[in-house]
Amino acid sequence: MEYFLELFLGGLTRGSIYALIALGYTMVYGIIELINFAHGEIYMIGAFTALIFASVFTLLGFNDLSILLLASLAAVTWASAYGYTIEKLAYKPLRKAPRLSALISAIGMSIFLQNYVLLAQTSDFLPFPRLIPHFSFMDPIVHVIGSAELVILITTAVVMIALTLLIKFTKLGKAMRATAQDRDMALLSGVNINKVISFTFIIGSFTAAVGGVLIASHIGMINFYIGFIAGIKAFTAAVLGGIGSVPGAVLGGMVLGWTESFATGYVSSDYEDVFAFSLLVLILIFRPEGILGRSTTQKV
């Protein structure tokens, strides 16, 4: 039972991170129907930025809490800036092009960013500082759930709620939903499409960077390649829940997190990634609209 609980919570933590990254996929897909292949790289760059600034601030002698805050701030700032720039360079010129063109461009961007970080930084794994402090009140249950996991779960919940509120109640959220429904109609109704799309990328990158900082300080290691696998898994989560849906991304993240956690815990840890990929293949074949998505009829 204890083992089960451990796996359950492990899956929940893992799933939260997938959910945070999946949000970026799902929102971008909802709006411009593009699988933003470079999204995983944004997450990776977020983690690297946090690592770089945390190291600098440590050397400057800042205290732990201010390092955590400043490094996270830097991570989300730069990740958002990358997200914004990538859209302008690689996707905006292709809005009217066939969908596969934009997808190929996205794959190119992903490979480019991976190698950019590889060349400018290093190909080695770097130890990531434990930014999340240890809470003493967690001591009695620390063998079940540690401080880092708790922070991850709470942060994910807060981000989800904030995002849902943003989409439901703000003017920007309304514009986003309108653009997702019908881009031309939204344009005619005076929605600034470029701005909405940029914002979507910024928000998606922001949440990916949050996920990046959390997971990196949880696992304690990063390299230039972490974005690729995490990206595909988060995409799996987004599809699983129903791409385009925010609650779907969360649900999909959790389902994927538990699947991996239980499968590696009870079956075999050698095939960890195989489980995720198999789940992706199966869901796309049998229920491409996802758990919460609705099937759509093709327009003729």
Contact residues: other proteins, CB under 8 A: 33-35, 45, 48-49, 51-53, 55-56, 58-59, 74, 78, 81-82, 85, 89-90, 93-94, 97, 99-105, 107-117, 119-122, 126-127, 129, 228, 232, 235, 239, 270-271, 273-274, 277-278, 280-281, 284-285, 288, 297-298, 300
* Residue whose CB is less far from other proteins, 199 or 224: 224
DSSP character string of 32-82: H----TTHHHHHHHHHHHHHHHHHHHHHTT--HHHHHHHHHHHHHHHHHHH
| 84 contact partners, CB below 8 Å, separation of at least 6 | 198, 201, 202, 205
* Residue whose CB is less far from other proteins, 151 or 280: 280
* Residue whose CB is less far from other proteins, 182 or 273: 273
243 C-beta neighbours (distance < 10 Å), count: 26
* Residue whose CB is less far from other proteins, 74 or 159: 74
* Residue whose CB is less far from other proteins, 67 or 191: 67
Q: How is residue 128 written in tokens?
A: 């990531």
**Shortest distance (Å) from residue 246 CB to other proteins:** 20
| 188 contact partners, CB below 8 Å, separation of at least 6 | none
**Shortest distance (Å) from residue 105 CB to other proteins:** 4
Q: How is residue 76 written in tokens?
A: 């989300």
**Shortest distance (Å) from residue 48 CB to other proteins:** 6
Integer-rounded Cα Rg, in Å, for the chain is: 19
Pair 244, 26: CB distance under 8 Å = yes
* Residue whose CB is less far from other proteins, 171 or 294: 294
**Shortest distance (Å) from residue 76 CB to other proteins:** 13
**Shortest distance (Å) from residue 62 CB to other proteins:** 14
| Dihedral Cα 223, 227, 230, 233, nearest 10 deg | -150
**Shortest distance (Å) from residue 108 CB to other proteins:** 2
**CA-closest candidate to residue 6, choices 152, 142, 151, 134:** 142
Q: How far apart are CA 273 and CA 271, in angstroms?
A: 6
